[in-house]
Structures are given as structure tokens and as C-alpha cells.
């Protein structure tokens, strides 16, 4: 009796946690594109940390607007307190339980801040890593910029900085999760449908 009550208690604590899949990869690797497909087929909530920061930046009178814009243009990373609060708020407001968190955590500061603030509220299922050559990613972002994305970082100067940050700060985070056996690495240089054919196997 006691054991089954304890087990039920433990289960309800687990069930109360948010389920999270982190989606990482270089600029233009296709994180957003694949997340949209996962949402359509499997019903997760997609939260792009970059999109949340851009929304916050666009709010009239935002306390952090200028700081966020400077980081985005320079390809550097916004302090975790800001990003993590935006993510947690969006998770709570969604009323849902299963999340794709796209483009986060990107550096050691993000990882530590997330673990402190969210570690015991979240069940990290795995990390989806879109691996794509720099030249392919660069071309995708430049094409998107030329097509009128309006993103202040879809230009060659910002892209160089975004890649430096990705290689120096984000790859060590991916390697950290790899060491925990949590990373699923995808070849993201193919077409969107070919990539999704691999991705969906993980969610099925
Ligand atoms: N495209 C997509 N897939 C394709 C495919 N398979 N074949 C051909 N084309 C493909 O795709 C990019 C473009 O490529 C699109 O035009 C798409 O149609 C095409 P997308 O799906 O948008 O790729 P994604 O990986 O999401 O690229 P994104 O540019 O969003 O990646 P970033 O990681 O650079 O951008 P993000 O918005 O996450 O971050 C921007 C900045 O915000 C960061 O540099 C940083 O300054 C800041 N930031 C933080 O500080 N902290 C955070 O936690 C997050 C962001
Ligand atoms: Mg994106």
C-alpha cells in the first residue's frame, strides 16, 4: 500500500514536469523549419529563444530592447536571466506540457542559468542537433536576408560573428549533452523533407 502510494506520488511529480527537447545547430541549420514540421505532426509547442528575444526587443519601451539588439547584431549571447525568464513565461502561458526549445542553451551561462532556474521543473528528453556545413548555412541565411527576412543578423558581417559564437560557445554545450548520451545528430545539409524523414523517427 505504502509503496504503491509512494510510486503514485513519484509519478505525479514526474508528470507535472515540463517535457523538453532542446533543438540546437548553427545559424540557418534549419532548426525553425524542422520544429514547424514536428509541431504539425506531433503537437509540441515550439519556442524559439531567438524569436522570443526578437519579440521582446520589438515591445515599445522594452527595458532590454537595446541590449538584445546589440547581442543579435553581434552574434553574441543575451544574458540567461532574460532568455530563461522569457522561456519560462511562454511555457507557463501555453498551458501545455511538451516543448521544443529551439536555439537554447547556447553557452555555459545559458546552461547554468537554465539548470538553476528550470532544472527541477523539467524533464529533458533529448537534444536534437542539426549538423550543417558553414557554407550551406551561410548561403541559406544570406538568401533569407535577400528575400526580405528583415533580420538584422542575416548579413555576412553578423553571420561571421554568429558562427564564431556557435563554434566557440555552443558546440561545447552540444558536446556536454553528447557526453550524457542525450544528443541525436542529424545531417541538416539535405532538403527539409529528407531531414524530417529522419527527425520523425525520433518522435514516433
Ligand atoms: N532552410 C531551412 N532548412 C532548409 C533545408 N533543409 N534546405 C534548404 N533551405 C532550408 O532556416 C534558415 C533558412 O534556410 C530559411 O530561409 C529556411 O527556409 C531555409 P531556419 O529554419 O530558420 O534555420 P534556423 O536554424 O532556425 O536559423 P536561425 O537563423 O533562426 O538560427 P540562429 O540560431 O542563428 O538564430 P536564432 O534566432 O536562434 O538566434 C539569433 C540570435 O539571437 C543569436 O545569434 C543570439 O544573438 C540571440 N540569442 C541569444 O542570445 N540567446 C538565445 O538563447 C537564442 C538566441
Ligand atoms: Mg531559427
Closest approach atom of ligand 1 to CA 190:
6
Q: Are the CB atoms for 200 and 39 separated by under 8 Å? A: no
User: What was the pLDDT predicted at 10?
Assistant: 47
pLDDT tens, N- to C-terminus, the chain (204 residues): 555 555 554 444 455 899 999 999 999 999 999 999 999 999 999 999 999 999 999 999 999 999 999 999 999 999 999 999 999 999 999 999 999 999 999 999 999 999 999 999 999 999 999 999 999 999 999 999 999 999 999 999 999 999 999 999 999 999 999 999 999 999 999 999 999 999 999 999
Question: Which neighbouring-strand residues pair with 31?
Answer: none
Ligand nearest to the CA of 36: 1
User: What was the pLDDT predicted at 131?
Assistant: 98
CA of 27 to the centre of ligand 1 (A): 5
- Name the closest-CA residue to atom 34, ligand 1: 27
Q: Given its phi and psi angles, is residue 17 left (phi above 0), alpha (psi -120 to 50 degrees) or beta? A: beta
pTM for the predicted model, two decimal places: 0.94
Closest approach atom of ligand 1 to CA 130:
25
Element (H, E) at 21: strand 18-25
How distant, in Å, are the alpha carbons of 53, 71, 137, 160, 197 from that of 189? 27, 27, 8, 19, 13
CA distance 63 to 158: 23
CA of 180 to the centre of ligand 1 (A): 25
- Name the closest-CA residue to atom 55, ligand 1: 50
Element (H, E) at 126: strand 122-131
CA of 12 to the centre of ligand 2 (A): 34
Domains and CATH numbers, the chain: 18-47+96-203 (3.40.50.300)
Residue 16, C-alpha cell as written in the block: 507535472
- Name the closest-CA residue to atom 18, ligand 1: 33
Amino acid at each position: 500500500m505504502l509503496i504503491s502510494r509512494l510510486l503514485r506520488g513519484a509519478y505525479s511529480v514526474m508528470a507535472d514536469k515540463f517535457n523538453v527537447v532542446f533543438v540546437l545547430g548553427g545559424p540557418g541549420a534549419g532548426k525553425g523549419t524542422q520544429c514547424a514540421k514536428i509541431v504539425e505532426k506531433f503537437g509540441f509547442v515550439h519556442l524559439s529563444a531567438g524569436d522570443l528575444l526578437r519579440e521582446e526587443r520589438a515591445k515599445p519601451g522594452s527595458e532590454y530592447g537595446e541590449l538584445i539588439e546589440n547581442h543579435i547584431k553581434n552574434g553574441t549571447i543575451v544574458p540567461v536571466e532574460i532568455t530563461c525568464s522569457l522561456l519560462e513565461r511562454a511555457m507557463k502561458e501555453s498551458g501545455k506540457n511538451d516543448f521544443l526549445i529551439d536555439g537554447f542553451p547556447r553557452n555555459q551561462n545559458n546552461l547554468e542559468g537554465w539548470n538553476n532556474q528550470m532544472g527541477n521543473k523539467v524533464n529533458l528528453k533529448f537534444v536534437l542537433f542539426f549538423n550543417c556545413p558553414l557554407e550551406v548555412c551561410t548561403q541559406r541565411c544570406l538568401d533569407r536576408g535577400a528575400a526580405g527576412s528583415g533580420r538584422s543578423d542575416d548579413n555576412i558581417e553578423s553571420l561571421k560573428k554568429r558562427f564564431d559564437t556557435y563554434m566557440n560557445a555552443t558546440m561545447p554545450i552540444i558536446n556536454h549533452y553528447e557526453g550524457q548520451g542525450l544528443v541525436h545528430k542529424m545531417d541538416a545539409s539535405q532538403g527539409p523533407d529528407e531531414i524530417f524523414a529522419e527527425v520523425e523517427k525520433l518522435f514516433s
